[in-house]
Amino acid sequence: MINYGNHVISSDDLDAVRDSLENEPLSGGPSISVFEDSIGARLGEDVDVVVVANATLALLAAYRALGVTANSIVWCPTITFAATANAALFLGAKVKFLDIDESSFNLDVDRLEEVLANTSKNELPDVLTAVHMCGSPCDLSKLKQLSSLYGFKLLEDASHALGATYLDSKIGDCTYSDICIFSFHPVKMITTGEGGALTTRDHRIAEKLRLLTNQGIKREAPSCGFEDTDFWQYTVTSVGLNMRIPSFNAALGLSQLRKLDEFLMVRSQLVDVYKSRLNPEIVEFQSVLANSKSSNHLLVVRLNQPVRNLLLKRLGESGIKTTIHYSPLHLHPLFRDKANRRGAFPAAEKYFMAAITLPLYVGLDHGVVELVCDIVNESRDWG
């Protein structure tokens, strides 16, 4: 069965993990800081990086570092994975959803501006989370302007977007945002097995993140009133959790990171094949902002006729497992209420009824791409 996404583990990855298992502690080994430094080196010298066990924990830490509590309001697009909203809900925050732009699949910034202008001061967001859907960057410059005007913090959910660029900046360098998070899940741009990372240019936020992700512990002798306590070596200074990534996972991530540019190139080439083979009368591809570059994590296309469910079935019968990213969160039972009802976010619902995620990953055979394209093109005659 061909999946929509897959990971590639090569001999150098296995060697890196084996070396870590044999030569460093399972937890807290040097591979972790080297991995962080290597991510930072790609993004810019002023960027702090904290790696964690998964991207959901990265979101949780990011929200908490930005001051999200039970009295906070977080806004995010309704087309995103559940973790974007769940992490805020876990802290007790109120989550409000936003509609998307029909062509970019990212949040509709023009509509956002209208919603902000018509929202009372006490209902404005404390944090707005911008999701770079499929790896295609949001309009961060406009979002930064709105954050300055309305006083909210800006968080980038770049789970899909490692390697993407926006204008003259790299996604994750936090030129426009307070914090950015990445995912290293097995189908993402690179993998650590499970893992995530947080990036920021604010060194005070970075210090908060390091405490939040490591039980609130500082590596220093405590001031507890007892003599000869230097041997304790740590002080618990604030509330935190264990969000640490194991050493061998970081070693895998470091090995994968060295191949990121190659992975990006292969993904881009595969997308070009799809674009050359798929009938433009049948499908619409996601638009990417001018002077920006997608990481091409997911290949989501919209069908121009109501055959999506039948297409999913036909592809499955041919051994190709496709899926849909994502069903609108506002229609799920956890979130459904008077504000979150059918018809509340029409662009997102229209997108959901027409979207399909086609296979895209490093190592995908071009023959499979051609088969997928043939089946999709045949759907023109199914209506």
Say what the pLDDT of residue 328 is: 98
Cα–Cα distance measured from residue 190 to residue 195, given in angstroms and rounded to the nearest whole number? 10
Say what the pLDDT of residue 216 is: 86
| HEC profile of 49-84 | EEEECCHHHHHHHHHHHCCCCCCCEEEEECCCCHHH
Say what the pLDDT of residue 232 is: 62
Q: Which residue has the tokens 């080439």?
A: 269
Cα–Cα distance measured from residue 246 to residue 52, given in angstroms and rounded to the nearest whole number? 9
Q: What is the pLDDT of residues 169-219, one digit of tens each?
A: 999 999 999 999 999 999 999 999 999 999 999 999 999 999 999 998 887
| pLDDT (mean) for 259-283 | 97
| HEC profile of 317-337 | HCCECCECCCCCHHHCCCCCC
| pLDDT (mean) for 134-141 | 98
Say what the pLDDT of residue 230 is: 58
Cα–Cα distance measured from residue 287 to residue 294, given in angstroms and rounded to the nearest whole number? 10
Task: Evaluate the omega torsion of the peptide bond into residue 361 and state whether it is cis, within 30 degrees of 0.
Answer: no
* Domain residue spans of the chain: 11-259, 261-381
Q: Characterize the bridge pairing of strands 165-166 and 127-131.
A: unpaired
301 in helix, strand or coil?
Answer: strand
Say what the pLDDT of residue 235 is: 81
Tokens (6 digits) for 111: 């509509």
In this structure, which topology does domain 261-381 adopt according to CATH? Aspartate Aminotransferase, domain 1 (3.90.1150)
Q: What is the pLDDT of residues 294-331, one digit of tens each?
A: 999 999 999 998 999 999 999 999 999 999 999 999 99
Query: Are the C-beta atoms of residues 241 and 229 closer than 8 Å to each other?
Result: no
Say what the pLDDT of residue 225 is: 57
Say what the pLDDT of residue 305 is: 87
Say what the pLDDT of residue 131 is: 98
Read off the DSSP letter of residue 6.
Answer: -
Query: Residue 380: pLDDT above 90?
Result: no
pLDDT band at 220 (very low <50, low <70, confident <90, very high): low
Top CATH class of 11-259 equals alpha beta
pLDDT band at 30 (very low <50, low <70, confident <90, very high): very high
Read off the DSSP letter of residue 123.
Answer: G
- How many residues does this entry show for the chain? 383
Task: Provide the mean pLDDT of the chain.
Answer: 95
Query: Residue 86: pLDDT above 80?
Result: yes
Say what the pLDDT of residue 326 is: 97
| pLDDT (mean) for 232-255 | 91
- What are the two backbone dihedrals, phi and then psi, of residue 76, each rounded to the nearest 5 degrees? -155, 160
pLDDT over 70 percentage in the chain:
96
- Enter the pTM of the model: 0.96
| pLDDT (mean) for 347-358 | 98
pLDDT band at 226 (very low <50, low <70, confident <90, very high): low
Within 13 Å of residue 243, how many CA atoms lie on the same side as its CB?
27
Cα–Cα distance measured from residue 216 to residue 109, given in angstroms and rounded to the nearest whole number? 36
Query: Residue 281: pLDDT above 60?
Result: yes
Read off the DSSP letter of residue 110.
Answer: H
| pLDDT (mean) for 14-37 | 98
Between these two residues, 337 and 354, which has the higher pLDDT value?
Answer: 354
